[in-house]
Amino acid sequence: MSEQLTLYTAKICPYAQRTEIALAEADARFTRYEIDLRNKPEWYLPKVPAIAYGGPQVPPDQPSPESVKLNESLVLVEFVADLYPNSGILPKDPVLRAKARLFIDAVSNKFSPANFSVVHNDGDPEQLVQALEHLQSLLPPTGFAVGEYSLADIAIAPFLGRLHLNLANDLGGFPEGKGEGERILKLLQSPKLARFQEYTKALLDRPSFVATFDKDHILQSGKRRFAELRAKKYGA
Amino acid sequence: MSEQLTLYTAKICPYAQRTEIALAEADARFTRYEIDLRNKPEWYLPKVPAIAYGGPQVPPDQPSPESVKLNESLVLVEFVADLYPNSGILPKDPVLRAKARLFIDAVSNKFSPANFSVVHNDGDPEQLVQALEHLQSLLPPTGFAVGEYSLADIAIAPFLGRLHLNLANDLGGFPEGKGEGERILKLLQSPKLARFQEYTKALLDRPSFVATFDKDHILQSGKRRFAELRAKKYGA
């Protein structure tokens, strides 16, 4: 891979972190450009994350029309896996690949809606517990989603990192200071989710995760964002 | 690929046809087992389509616990591409792969909801026209979704085949005999969709499509299904 690769990303965004983890796992050389999602530069049109690939070496804030522009986080993770076949994020075995993609399908269609409900406080947190139990049922006895670390783990880790950080700081769509963050966190710590907890710990300890998860920045941005959401929902 | 592969499928189902087209493109040897979706056998638990891969050679209606069970049509198409790298359905170039996956993302998130609305008559058919215009904007000047035939084309072809067949036979969620099928078909034949029409024709002429699209069966099943839907919506 000798073409230039520029990643347009935002530390706050879990979708963007997927792509950053993939690039970290691949030990890729790339130009990282942080987009302020609350104040997008005028020249920046697509969603975050996006990759500009190939074309001439140009300053990232002057993207060349000659580079290929790609987006959608899961497409970008597969793209990084294809550019760096030795990154290991795409298993070699077709059956493990299929299992990784089925896990991602469950993340997108079962976990994400339940997680979104907790974040916005418009559903029963018990649904999130059920979604995690389902994901847990897909896990092998030890190791990551398909044993070895893969794109399946990359798909969920950024969301689990933010969920735990937010709940531990009483951040969410629920009212502040009523112990709701702690209560939901306790649901996630139920013994029936023991295997999933072990899996979560391994995900969040992974060096590629740690290196791309700016805890302080995400916490500060989260405080601002949830303050706004709560003001809207419950009045200032 | 020497492991046994059994496909559980249904001619009526566009998702299932995706997997059948992929297997036809790969010239794969497999056991095909038709599931009657209106009268599912008791031993058959998963959704259609599903693949049982590996394990001993067994009669398809007695699946072995030793085979791996996989489902989700897009996961199965990628699985077939991985088993048969020479099938050509997964482009070799990482950029083309990413573009194929972006096209599929637009099929899932833009085309499918609009198509579903037409089928159930609960939205404005103009939304479908807009979705097709968007897909058209992703097409190269000639050829398939990314030039060469790929999994992107497999993702949409079964839906276009059924849409055209149904509309031409006045089948849909709309009332019967009011010319509504013809009217929507005319919208799709608008000159502004000329490139998409050419693309659709190439998709539906593809031998792997023709071989897996049992027109008479799909039409007869459609007549029965839409008669039921209409009776429910508009009374008998």
Mean pLDDT of chain B: 95
Instruction: Record the tokens describing residue B76, joined without a space.
Output: 């199965």
* pLDDT interval class at B1 (50, 70, 90): low
Instruction: Select the residue of B54, B70, B95 nearest A102 (Cβ to Cβ).
Output: B70
Crossing angle of the two packed helices A194-205 and A125-138, in degrees rounded to 10: 80
Rounded to whole angstroms, how far apart are CA atoms B143 and B134? 17
Best of A69, A95, A110, A150 to mutate (most B CBs within 10 Å, chain B): A95
* pLDDT given for residue A2 in this prediction: 76
pLDDT in tens, B109-121: 999 999 999 888 8
Residue B115's Cβ-side half-sphere holds a number of Cα atoms within 13 Å equal to 20
Question: What kind of fold does domain B94-234 have according to CATH?
Answer: Glutathione S-transferase Yfyf (Class Pi); Chain A, domain 2 (1.20.1050)
- Please list the alpha-helical segments (H only) found in chain A: 14-25, 73-83, 94-106, 112-120, 125-138, 151-168, 180-188, 194-205, 207-210, 215-234
pLDDT in tens, A56-69: 999 999 999 999 99
Find the mean pLDDT for residues A83-107. Answer: 97
Q: Are A98 and B75 in contact (CB < 8 Å)?
A: yes
Find the mean pLDDT for residues B174-186. Answer: 94
* pLDDT interval class at B44 (50, 70, 90): confident
Angle at B39 between CA B36 and CA B40, to 5 degrees: 70
pLDDT in tens, A146-175: 999 999 999 999 999 999 999 999 999 999
* pLDDT given for residue B236 in this prediction: 60
Beta partners for residue A144, in sequence order? A147
Instruction: Record the tokens describing residue A168, joined without a space.
Output: 């531990």
CA distance B168 to chain A (A): 34
* pLDDT given for residue A219 in this prediction: 97
pLDDT higher than 80, residue B59:
yes
Q: Are A70 and B98 in contact (CB < 8 Å)?
A: yes
B122 or A48, which is more confident: A48
* pLDDT interval class at B122 (50, 70, 90): confident
Kindly state which CATH superfamily the domain B4-83 is placed in.
Glutaredoxin (3.40.30.10)
CA distance B78 to chain A (A): 8
Rounded to whole angstroms, how far apart are CA atoms B68 and A199? 23
Collect all residues from B whose CB is shorter than 8 A from any CB in A.
53-54, 68, 70-72, 74-76, 78-79, 82-83, 94-95, 97-99, 101-102, 105
Mean pLDDT of chain A: 95
Residues 6 or more apart in contact with residue B236 via CB below 8 angstroms = none
Best of B87, B97, B109, B151 to mutate (most A CBs within 10 Å, chain A): B97
* pLDDT given for residue A1 in this prediction: 54
Q: Are B95 and A71 in contact (CB < 8 Å)?
A: no
CA distance B15 to chain A (A): 15
Lowest mean pLDDT among A7-21, A178-192, B7-21, B34-48: B34-48
Closest Cα in chain A to B90? A82
Q: Are A72 and B97 in contact (CB < 8 Å)?
A: no
Q: Are A53 and B95 in contact (CB < 8 Å)?
A: yes
Q: Are A72 and B105 in contact (CB < 8 Å)?
A: yes
Q: Are A101 and B72 in contact (CB < 8 Å)?
A: yes
% of chain A beyond a pLDDT of 90: 92
Residue A141 buriedness (CB in 10 A; 0-12 / 13-18 / 19+): exposed
* pLDDT given for residue A120 in this prediction: 87
* pLDDT given for residue B2 in this prediction: 76
Closest Cα in chain B to A80? B94
Instruction: Record the tokens describing residue B6, joined without a space.
Output: 């059994």
Q: Are A78 and B68 in contact (CB < 8 Å)?
A: no
% of chain A beyond a pLDDT of 70: 99
A37 touches A13 (CB < 8 A):
yes
A49 or B38, which is more confident: A49
**ipTM score for this prediction:** 0.94
Residue B84, amino acid = Y
Indicate whether this model's pTM tops 0.90.
yes
Which ranges in chain A are annotated with CATH 3.40.30.10? 4-83
Which ranges in chain A are annotated with CATH 1.20.1050.10? 94-234
A142 touches A93 (CB < 8 A):
no
Residue with tokens 């993609």: A101
pLDDT higher than 90, residue B235:
no
Q: List phi, psi (to 5°) of A67.
A: -85, 155
pLDDT higher than 70, residue A236:
no
Rounded to whole angstroms, how far apart are CA atoms A100 and A97? 5
Find the mean pLDDT for residues B189-215. Answer: 98
Helix, strand or coil, per DSSP, at residue B154: helix
* pLDDT given for residue A123 in this prediction: 84
CA distance B61 to chain A (A): 22
Q: Are A98 and B105 in contact (CB < 8 Å)?
A: no
